[in-house]
Chains A and B, each alone.
Chain A
Amino acid sequence: MLGDTIAAISTPLGEGGIGIVRLSGPQSVEIAKSIFKVKSKDWPGKKSRELVYGHVYDQSGNIIDEVLICYMRAPNTYTREDVVEINCHGGIMPLKKVLETVIAGGARLAGPGEFSKRAFLNGRLDLAQAESVIDVIRSKTEAGLRIAAAQLKGDLSAKISSMQDRLLSLLAMVEANVDFPEEGLEELTVEKIKSLCEDLMEEIKEMIVKADAGRIYSEGISAVIIGMPNVGKSSLLNAMLRENRAIVTDVPGTTRDMIEEVINIKGIPLKIIDTAGLRETEDVIEKIGVARTKEAVDRAQIIMMVFDAEKGLGDGDLDIVGSVREKNTLFLINKDDIKEKLINVEEVTRLANGRPVIKISAKEGTGLKHLEKEIFDLVMQGKATGQDEVLVTKIRHKNALEITARCLGEALEGVDQGAPVDLVAIDIRSAWEALGEITGSSVTEELVDRIFRDFCIGK
């Protein structure tokens, strides 16, 4: 709500020369000061809107990035609040790190359209602009919800609900005892609280590490490679991997007939899914493969359709082209290194219908730069969107996990100092609420439900 300090990455993600992390609110300077070191000691000095050179450090004192920082004094700013802008190197990693550091320093991750909302509420934008602020809030919220829901599928969601469930059972036991002391209910022992909190701490720490490594989320934009058997899909993937530093390899949980890899193209994390196995066998597995491929195609923002230059266009190729009509598709003619080609390039260009047609050789590595540029352009033109929200959701989740861990730590501290269980419960409740931020649930109602579900209480 108004009155606190918010932060966000305020430039589009991607390979820009610089990217900006912006803070707005009364603690902007205080927070920036705590993470920013500069040679002249009196930053921010008296001058507003002065660019100052320095470094951003994380809590352990490691340099994150070399930055230019700018303090803009209220009320002559976009939000009419104190604003600090940190100009970092472009690219997702430094921006993400800097944002996480300011959040750890006390800022709150800005909600959808929140800078504009503040600008309007503080009288900076005029009435005519209010409508568009509302539109931004609505559309960004919806996009965010979609992404959060998508990311919460599967493993992560199961883990978080299991943690919430265990915390809730613990809380219900404390609370049932507090509210119904004469019912002869099982008393909660300090040991029980301790062991559960410790277990959960372990699990959360592991999740945070994984979140950092980008393992538990679908990272950034996803691109899928499709095409007939033996057109060189896997070779293309391998070639792209060779060219680019892989952030993550061998993501667990992938299916036997699909391989996922994340590569970094000019700062954009790109998840590439190779649908090897498609139509390569005629058994049941093949059918599953087809279904999975379709699903991957539906979810992907970019499709790399691979043709074999050595062969002519077959019915199979046409079928696949037909199934990706609406998508951001790149038409790749592979095996460009082979001399005797049968493929009809004009026909492929006609099928592409204005979409890029690129000749490549996965074997020789030619054409890959061109391919990457086309991918980059698609992202930058906003055709393959989603990554801002994905990143924000990710940071939000990680932040929630960190708060959960901190609350559990405080609960354990309380236990060690012999605090009564109902006080320890305050911290456990906060831990539950932090997880609730991810799943969107509220503690009071669920707690009361759980008490009456689990315990036989009554006069």
Chain B
Amino acid sequence: MEYLAGKYDVVVVGAGHAGCEAGLAAARMGCRTCVLTISMDSVAMMPCNPAVGGPAKGHLVREVDALGGEIGINTDRASVQMRLLNTAKGPAVHALRAQADKRAYQDCMKMTLEMQPGLDLKQAMVEKVVVEKGKIIAVVTNTGARFEAGAVVLTTGTYLKGRIIIGDLSYPGGPNGQYPSIGLSESLQRVGIGLGRFKTGTPARVDRKSIDFSRMTIQPGDEKTRNFSFVSEIKQREQIPCWLTHTTEETHRIIRENLNRAPLYCGVFQGRGPRYCPSIETKVVRFADKPTHQIFIEPEGKNTTEMYVQGMSTSLPEDIQLAMLRTVPGLEKVEVMRIGYAIEYDHVLPTQLKLNLELKNVAGLFTAGQINGTSGYEEAAAQGIMAGINAALYVKGKEPFILTRSEAYIGVLIDDLVTKEIDEPYRMLTSRAEYRLLLRQDNADLRLTEKGCQIGLVTPERLQLYEKKKSLVEAEKERLERTMAPVTEKIKSILAKVSSAGLPQQGISLAGLLRRPEISYEELRLLTGDEGELPEEVKEQVEIQVKYEGYIKKQKAQVERFERMEGKKLPKDIDYGQVKGISVEAKEKLEKVRPGSIGQAVRIAGVSPADISVLLIYLEQKRRRGEKRKLH
């Protein structure tokens, strides 16, 4: 029996990392919002590794934070360890990575949702979307509750027709012992949404008490306390270490001997798994010459003895998992608390989406996270906030909010999803970003906070912090450019000591000195004896902007070319079948993706430069014919 359970501006289905951001963003933009979750106890659950961030992923976290999202703040609160990775490399790829207390992470996020004005959090399993005249109008749960909505955001993760696979055992299920969502897949197909099937997996969780850490190498966090969020003020935090060990010949032997029981090699899977996250059995088969693989043992939280075995993701049968774990140094007597498994699930083919994450054929229906074929908490959160923002804008009748590839990793992520046809779960990589020197984690606030402010997500406190930082950076950069290095014996001798060239005859500005690779900002201050202390993040920003100016300029020139192409918009109603002179393949692809701009069209595989030329001419023809008609 169906009944009206509520009327909202925005309904979010799912409360994982995408759903939480979507719900919060919509509510913070003033929409009456409802977030529905299969279980109240699985809000913001981390069913795989207990970590947030790392290269590209950490960049996404900072961007979501700069826009006014929650993942950064929440990670800072729940973190039990942080490390800045890639510090030996350039600033563009420095990446913060946190180990999180999973329970704390969930509790903090759930509380944030509960306390958010304008947001209702409810336990319900949605089984049906209701579409009228090409528009979403409501969702209905398995108990008959009908939630009417101006816009709906689906963030169903790996729940859609979820199937768990452990060796030859396979049963319907969601992640981490949850219910799967069975009915919704069919409902989506009925309204004309195409689905694909992906697979992913997770390793076993083992009992800390049964581990011999003396046989492993300790992996502590950084001594310096760091935060993801530009507004977090946590100065001190207890750090719990991770541990490094490795597989042995014996581990590999056991795996090889039992491959006939591995679902991956006996055809049980239908879904396509990610290459960047291979199971241990895949690693052993594909990289047969590697005698050993790294294993990290990571804490799942402060108040639990469960430990995550990173590097041992598997869908081998339970007995084999146990046997192989016990061949790893330090795990000889290990007790497994949760067994590793693979999960298969339905996802929406993301080329059906517009750049605002709205389905092309169902107005007001948005999707975000793993349902779009991505993997990772951070990728989910990034899409979540964008879908939430765009659902709110849709309800208010405003223009969509879209970030480009030159503005944010978020832009790269979404553009890739809707433009390229992905054939494995999509993970963000720094190599996917053409302009990564501009898209640094240190300047995410400088890139995005004003935009977040314009759409109404950024709090006044955040804006104030941003403006202060920005003006300090500008002032200091100007001072460095303006001030000439004093010609003193002291400076000369220090320069000689760091084997830097001497001071040139015509003099050199402080900025000029800083551009020398061997001179850091701190050294510059020592050189000139400058007084006055600037905040850490300001010094960092100044140093990067000055030191890498040459490379930054080069990328900015590339971006200018890129933006010219992005600026040429394609009309929404274009009928590619009517465009004469475009290749058949290009027609098909253009029809499928329906790119928003010439720039996006260029990125579609199968669309050639000649096709683009012809398209431009077609558009001009159409425009002039339109003008003629107006005259008559």
Contacts and interface: CB of A to CB of B under 8 A. Distances in A.
A141 B311 CA distance: 49
Contact of B613 (A111, A127, A182, A183): A111
A2 B420 CA distance: 25
Given A1-B564, A457-B276, A459-B313, A418 B90 contact: no
B55 interface: yes
Interface stretch (A45-53, A71-79, A357-365, A446-454): A446-454
A426 B437 contact: yes
Interface string A1-44: 11100000000000000000000000000000000000000000
A115 to B, nearest CB: 12
B552 to A, nearest CB: 10
Contacts of A423: 90, 92, 437, 548, 551
A426 B555 contact: yes
A322 interface: no
A262 interface: no
B290 interface: yes
Contacts of B548: 423
Given A175-B430, A448-B429, A138 B614 contact: yes
Given A181-B85, A182-B85, A418-B517, A448 B432 contact: yes
Interface in A396-452: 417-423, 426, 444-445, 447-448, 451-452
Nearest to B608: A141
A181 B287 contact: no
Interface in B594-632: 598, 605, 608-610, 613-614, 616-617, 620-621, 624-625
Contacts of A451: 429, 431
A350 B624 CA distance: 56
Nearest to B55: A179
B564 A178 contact: no
B49 interface: yes
A141 B610 contact: yes
A25 to B, nearest CB: 13
A459 B310 contact: yes
Contacts of B90: 419-423
Contact of B55 (A3, A111, A178, A421): A178
A446 to B, nearest CB: 11
Interface string B416-459: 00001000000001111010110000000000000000000000
Interface in A172-215: 175, 177-184
Interface string B362-384: 00000000000000000000000
Contacts of B430: 175, 178-179, 422
A348 to B, nearest CB: 45
B89 interface: yes
A445 B95 CA distance: 23
B432 A418 contact: no
A57 interface: no
A447 B580 contact: no
Interface string B88-105: 111011010000000000
Task: Name the interface size band of chain A.
Answer: 35 or more
Interface in B283-298: 283, 286-287, 290, 293-294, 296
Interface stretch (A129-137, A270-278, A383-391): A129-137
Given A117-B617, A138-B581, A175-B429, A456 B551 contact: no
A149 interface: no
B518 interface: yes
B256 interface: no
Contact of A117 (B92, B277, B616, B621): B616
Contacts of A422: 86, 89-90, 92-93, 430, 436
Contacts of B534: none
B286 A459 contact: no
B278 interface: yes
B518 A418 contact: yes
Contacts of B276: 452, 457-458
Contact of A456 (B283, B517, B613): B283
A112 interface: yes
A181 B517 contact: no
Given A178-B55, A179-B56, A459-B49, A114 B620 contact: no
Contacts of A137: 581, 610, 613-614, 617
A112 B610 contact: yes
B561 interface: yes
Contacts of A120: 617, 620
Interface in A267-326: none
Interface in A219-263: none
Given A179-B55, A422-B90, A448 B431 contact: yes
A356 interface: no
B437 A452 contact: no
Interface in B259-306: 275-279, 282-283, 286-287, 290, 293-294, 296
A106 interface: no
B411 to A, nearest CB: 14
Contacts of A177: 89
Interface string A152-170: 0000000000000000000
Contacts of B551: 419, 423, 426
Given A178-B86, A178-B93, A458-B311, A447 B431 contact: yes
Given A175-B429, A458-B278, A181 B86 contact: yes
B287 A417 contact: no
Contacts of B616: 117, 121
Contacts of B609: 111, 141
Given A130-B617, A419-B551, A458 B561 contact: no
A105 interface: no
A54 interface: no
A388 B430 CA distance: 42
B554 interface: yes
Given A458-B278, A459-B48, 9 more contacts: A111-B613, A121-B620, A130-B620, A178-B430, A444-B431, A447-B431, A448-B432, A459-B311, A459-B313
20 contacts: A1-B561, A111-B609, A137-B617, A138-B610, A138-B614, A175-B431, A178-B431, A184-B294, A418-B517, A422-B90, A422-B92, A422-B430, A423-B90, A445-B605, A447-B431, A452-B275, A457-B276, A458-B277, A458-B278, A459-B277
The 10 closest A-B pairs by CB, nearest first: A420-B90, A418-B517, A452-B275, A141-B610, A134-B581, A175-B431, A456-B287, A422-B90, A458-B278, A423-B90
